Structure 1
Amino acid sequence: MATQHPNALTRALAELPGPLPAFGVIHIAIPHTSRFTIVGNHLAQHAELSLVAIGIGVHIQSLPVGSLVGIKALTARFAEGEMRIAAALRELEAPGYLRRAHVRLANGRMATRTVFCNQPGALERAGRVVVAPKVPPAVPEEAPAVPEEPPAPPPAPEPDPVPESHPPVRVPPRTAPKPPRRPLPQPRELTPELRQTASAILADLRNHAEALVLSEADVEELVPGVAAWLEREVRPDAIRHALTTDLPKPPKYPAKIVRHRLTALLPPPLPGAEELAPAARRPLVIPLQNCDGCDRAFRSREPGHCRGCQGELAAAA
Structure 2
Amino acid sequence: MDTQQNTALTRALAEVPGPLPTRGVIHVVIPHTDRFTVVGNHLAQHPDLSCTAIGIAVLIQSLPQGTEVSIKALAARCREGEKRIAAALRELEAHGYLQRIRHRLTDKKVITRTVFCNQPTALPHPHHPAAQPHPHPHPHPCPRPASTAPETASATACAPAPAPTPAPAPAPGQMPAPAPVPPAAPLPPRAPLALPVQPPPPAPPSVPLVPTPTAPKPPRPPLPQPGTPTTELDRAATALLSDLRRHAPRFTLSEGDIRQLAPAVAAWLEREAHPDAIRRTLTDDLPQPLRHPVKLLRHRLTALLPPPLPGACDLVVPARPPVVVTPFQTCDDCDRAFRSPAPGHCRDCRETREHRGADVHTAA
If the TM-score is normalised by the length of the shorter chain, which range does it land in? 0.3 to 0.5
Higher radius of gyration, 1 or 2? 2
Structure having greater relative contact order (Cα 8 Å, sep ≥ 6): 1
> What's the TM-score, normalizing by structure 1?
0.41
> What's the TM-score, normalizing by structure 2?
0.36
